[in-house]
Structure 1
Amino acid sequence: MTEARSILIKGAELIDEAGRSRREDVRFCGDTITAVGALMPRANEQCVDAEGGLLIPGLHDHHVHLASYAAALQSVRCGPPEVNSEAELVEAINRPGSGWLRGTGFQEGVCQQLNRAWLDQHGPNRPVRIQHRSGRLWIFNTLAIEQVKAAAANLAPHEQVRVSRPDGLYYDADEILGGLIRSEAPPIGQASQRLVKLGVTGINDMTPTNDGVAWDWFLGLQNSGDLLQRVRMSGRAELSAQSNLPGLACGEVKVHLHDTVLPELESFVELIRTSHSSGRGVAVHCVTEVELVFTLAAFRAAGTLKGDRIEHASVMPFELIEQVVELGLVVVTQPNFVFERGDAYLRDVPEIQHDSLYRVRSLIDQGIATAFGTDLPFGNPDPWAAMRAATERRTLSGEWLGEHEAVSPERALSGFLGSLENPFVQRTVTVGAESDLCLLKAPWQAVRLDLAAHHLRMIVCRGKAIDVKER
């Protein structure tokens, strides 16, 4: 086995949790930072002149769906900002192609009547399935339905019912549909490379169906070099049987609530208790006030474990913040949705709730540990865009949405600097830390005024240095 060569980064700007900066040299070898200070190059050591550019730990996205993101790279965008009208949707899905057409990102503002009949009338003569931006709903045309029906012939009757709706609207059936119509694995290597080029060196995959099979798949992808990032895998309770490995760790039990079909409170409470007994926290999808109230009631009955998380906290009325504090819960939220979906929220969400959408500043002010995830592919995978949204709180059209929830650039950056096991404590460049790094072309005082990925110069992911090409 070839011994890892050390790399020395000369004259980099380091910042601490408060944003104070200093210039240092940093040496790393393999997976570990071995020295920080005034360092002299060693014989045959690669040396990189940082020229005063900012050097920070690699970014961690604390809420992703990696397989869905990879599949989205082979899909047609069917919603904003690329597609904003029914005419644009017709144009998008009728571009030349053959076989299955997979669309993503659809929202009702594009087309109010998207269903089987609409796709048959306006779509191409090929199987079509389009995913709603929420990730919960797929809309199929007749050719697609016929293929699903044929493939589902051997399913149990209760499963056949879930994929037999005549209108082509399939809710919460991803696992069944994937097994029926997926012909090949999504391009994880391509997705991983794209994330590295954005500075993302670690992810928490929050797909609720993650199980032992997904664990083995991710491990194989890491061993083959296709999956570059460190991964914390959250998902089903059965993941508790997995042993943590270098670069792959078991995360929270993920619970995906839907306020129209909530589980029995008693069964939810029992799931939380069982998860806690195995030493795992619980991460609960809460995008409505109803889901949040239900979740708080369940934690109040079951008790909480350090690290129990509210995912999204899309709607957080101020009167519920105190309950979150009392229960000791933490929040992983998506400020990027303020920019990406803010105009739709202003149009569709009652005005009385606007101040409750994707809070950040008020959570921090009340002592709630808060970190960020992009929710890719349902959100833009660029963490720098999420940081900008957290500081600006403006929609795509430039309207304010919860401007009092804006945070400083320092706080926005820290939302992606926590470790995967503890997203709420900022990592810094120190001796003994993992050699996951982002070297930028400019110092922090310039970057904080322009939070953007184009500043990235070099990424170090699990000890491997990767140059970022000019954008």
Structure 2
Amino acid sequence: MARPPARRMLIRGARVWPADGHLAAEEALADLPRRDVRLAAGQIAGCAPRLRPERGEEVMEAAGGVLLPGLHDHHVHLRALAAAAASVAVGPPQARTAADLAARLHAADAELPPGGWLRAVGYHESVAGELDRQVLDRLLPRRPVRVQHRTGALWVVNSLAAERLGLDQCELGGVERDDAGRPTGRLWRMDRWLADRVPGLTADLGAVSRKAASLGITGFTDATPSVTERDLAFLAGAEMAQRLCCMVPPGVHPPPGIGAGPVKIMLDDSTLPPLDELGGRIGDAHAAGRPAAVHCVTRVQLVLTLAALDQAGRLPGDRIEHGAVIGADSLPDLRGLTVVTQPHFITERGEQYAADVPPDDLPDLWRLRSIIDAGVDVAAGSDAPFGNEDPWDVMRAAVRRPAPFRAGEAVSPARALALFLGEPAAPGRRRLVAPGRPADLTLLRAGPLEVLDSLASDLVAATFIGGELGYARG
């Protein structure tokens, strides 16, 4: 989206943090001096005590509030997040039983016009067991229904939807079939195929952008796999204020205004590629001058990925997405990579993890502090809509790990906040509030100690993106 000419503004009396590339010790934060910060031409033009306003310059009083680099969500799925707002949530905490599932689907059905598709998201087997077309037929036989699993890997459709999609004639490997060869209604990793065949929901990315600005978010890295130039054109034309970086395949070129991130490589345990094939895919990304970002949520996926990276060679910027299960013996091999993790999943999914995750994996589930202590760069992404989109909730989860998960993996509030302060192209390298840097800033209406004590989104007073005011409280 074309940006208007950047305004000139002076933010007066802010406690700038971090300004020198290092996180101050938390006990020293109360003594951070106040600075005035000048914004001009989309950049930080000055940062010093007692700057005098210039002619025509707007002035905002920070009153000792913290001024940060704007938060960057390093792993999100923007179109899915926008679509989730027009979908019915059918997993925990909104639905916990089969009766809850039925009630929510029937309520959504009553609100839709006849014949329209019903889209449900967030399902987990703890609600009503495994879904297939027969289960959904018993709930809603006369409306096409599609239900997405909480992981995002699986869609389940009922028989009417299967008929409209022509599943009986579809020969793609993602279409699960029963012993008789009939589609079960379960579709694995077929988001793109579905999107091309199902009437789309209105994806209000403007609403996503406005909410994100109110949370202090100034940038996104979209991690949607198999992005096309048509998808990128849609994002470029949306009313989004945030800076965008997208994981795009080699040969796909983002339009002006969208950065090319690493190449996303998806892995599933049931379809793991041979080592040489995965190494070749990583090598193809590197040959195009792009790092690789490999989706790793199980122990075997991580071990395979590390071996493939050793085979292909490592490129600065190579990333492990999620790193849900990391054994202690793998920590040294992660050095030189960046792990982009989701510490809030322990809080959001802890009940299901405690019941479903093998006991041998529980100690290695969603490590955080031990990765940092091993000298590995770490950043965070919400993975929204598959996780909470609020980065402040992610930070609090990183600080306050619930029982029975290893409390020793928690980090300090300052380190949790830093998970969202990295450069988009190098998430482990912290951005600064300093002259010459982009004027992408988050102003909080509290001092450092109060901010770190609460890590609450309601402390966001203003968000600047390219020097423009994207959000102001009140």
Q: Normalising by structure 1, what TM-score?
A: 0.92
Tell me, which stretches of 5 or more residues in structure 1 are unaligned?
none
Q: Structure 1: which amino acid aligns with 2:8? A: S
Paired position in structure 1 for 2:38 = 27
Aligned with 2:429 (options 425, 430, 434):
425
Deviation at 1:213, TM superposition (A): 2.2
Change (3 A) 1:370 1:161: closer
Work out the CA distance in 1 between the residues paired with 2:410 and 2:450: 19
Q: Does the 8 Å CA contact 1:211/1:238 hold for their aligned counterparts?
A: no
Deviation at 1:351, TM superposition (A): 2.4
Q: CA offsets per residue over residues 395-425 of structure 1, 9 Å max, x none?
A: xxxx341211000011101100011011111
Q: CA offsets per residue over residues 199-252 of structure 1, 9 Å max, x none?
A: 11111111111132222222222xxxx02111111132223x457x4x421111
Paired position in structure 2 for 1:404 = 408
Where 1:203 maps in the other structure, the secondary structure is: strand
Q: CA offsets per residue over residues 305-336 of structure 1, 9 Å max, x none?
A: 111111100000111112223xx222111101
RMSD of aligned C-alpha atoms? Answer: 2.0
Work out the CA distance in 1 between the residues paired with 2:381 and 2:81: 14
Aligned with 2:221 (options 184, 194, 204):
204
Aligned with 1:330 (options 328, 332, 338):
338
Paired position in structure 1 for 2:385 = 377
Work out the CA distance in 2 between the residues paired with 1:4 and 1:229: 14
Equivalent residues, number: 453
Where 1:380 maps in the other structure, the secondary structure is: coil
Aligned with 2:302 (options 292, 304, 307):
292
Change (3 A) 1:119 1:2: closer
Work out the CA distance in 2 between the residues paired with 1:282 and 1:401: 30
Paired position in structure 2 for 1:304 = 314
Aligned with 1:354 (options 348, 354, 362):
362
Q: Structure 2: which amino acid aligns with 1:388? A: R
Q: Does the 8 Å CA contact 1:4/1:29 hold for their aligned counterparts?
A: yes
Q: Does the 8 Å CA contact 1:93/1:124 hold for their aligned counterparts?
A: no
Work out the CA distance in 1 between the residues paired with 2:404 and 2:60: 42
Q: Does the 8 Å CA contact 1:30/1:463 hold for their aligned counterparts?
A: yes
Change (3 A) 1:316 1:172: same
Where 1:449 maps in the other structure, the secondary structure is: helix
Q: Structure 2: which amino acid aligns with 1:377? A: P
Work out the CA distance in 2 between the residues paired with 1:184 and 1:108: 25
Does residue 190 in structure 1 map to residue 229 in structure 2?
no
Q: CA offsets per residue over residues 101-120 of structure 1, 9 Å max, x none?
A: 11111111111142212212
Q: Does the 8 Å CA contact 1:56/1:439 hold for their aligned counterparts?
A: yes
Tell me, which stretches of 5 or more residues in structure 2 are unaligned?
none
Work out the CA distance in 1 between the residues paired with 2:358 and 2:193: 35
Q: Does the 8 Å CA contact 1:130/1:138 hold for their aligned counterparts?
A: yes
Paired position in structure 2 for 1:451 = 455
Q: Structure 2: which amino acid aligns with 1:441? A: R
Does residue 41 in structure 1 map to residue 85 in structure 2?
no
Q: Structure 1: which amino acid aligns with 2:81? A: Y
Where 1:238 maps in the other structure, the secondary structure is: coil
Change (3 A) 1:120 1:401: same
Work out the CA distance in 2 between the residues paired with 1:434 and 1:31: 6
Q: Structure 2: which amino acid aligns with 1:230? A: R
Q: Percent identity?
A: 39
Q: Structure 1: which amino acid aligns with 2:66? A: L
Paired position in structure 2 for 1:18 = 23
Q: Does the 8 Å CA contact 2:176/2:184 hold for their aligned counterparts?
A: no
Work out the CA distance in 1 between the residues paired with 2:65 and 2:141: 50
Change (3 A) 1:39 1:107: same
Aligned with 1:104 (options 104, 121, 126):
121
Q: Structure 2: which amino acid aligns with 1:402? A: R
Work out the CA distance in 2 between the residues paired with 1:180 and 1:2: 37
Q: Does the 8 Å CA contact 1:94/1:124 hold for their aligned counterparts?
A: no
Q: Does the 8 Å CA contact 1:70/1:188 hold for their aligned counterparts?
A: yes
Work out the CA distance in 2 between the residues paired with 1:214 and 1:416: 25
Work out the CA distance in 2 between the residues paired with 1:352 and 1:161: 30
Q: Structure 2: which amino acid aligns with 1:338? A: I
Q: Does the 8 Å CA contact 1:149/1:163 hold for their aligned counterparts?
A: no
Aligned with 2:175 (options 162, 165, 173):
162
Paired position in structure 1 for 2:104 = 92
Q: Structure 1: which amino acid aligns with 2:118? A: L
Where 2:304 maps in the other structure, the secondary structure is: helix
Paired position in structure 1 for 2:92 = 80
Does residue 441 in structure 1 map to residue 445 in structure 2?
yes
Change (3 A) 1:232 1:265: same
Deviation at 1:42, TM superposition (A): 2.2
Work out the CA distance in 2 between the residues paired with 1:433 and 1:343: 43
Change (3 A) 1:274 1:431: same
Deviation at 1:18, TM superposition (A): 2.0
Work out the CA distance in 1 between the residues paired with 2:200 and 2:254: 28
Deviation at 1:3, TM superposition (A): 5.2
Deviation at 1:161, TM superposition (A): 7.8
Does residue 146 in structure 1 map to residue 163 in structure 2?
yes
Q: Structure 2: which amino acid aligns with 1:194? A: K
Most deviating of 50-59 and 21-30 = 21-30
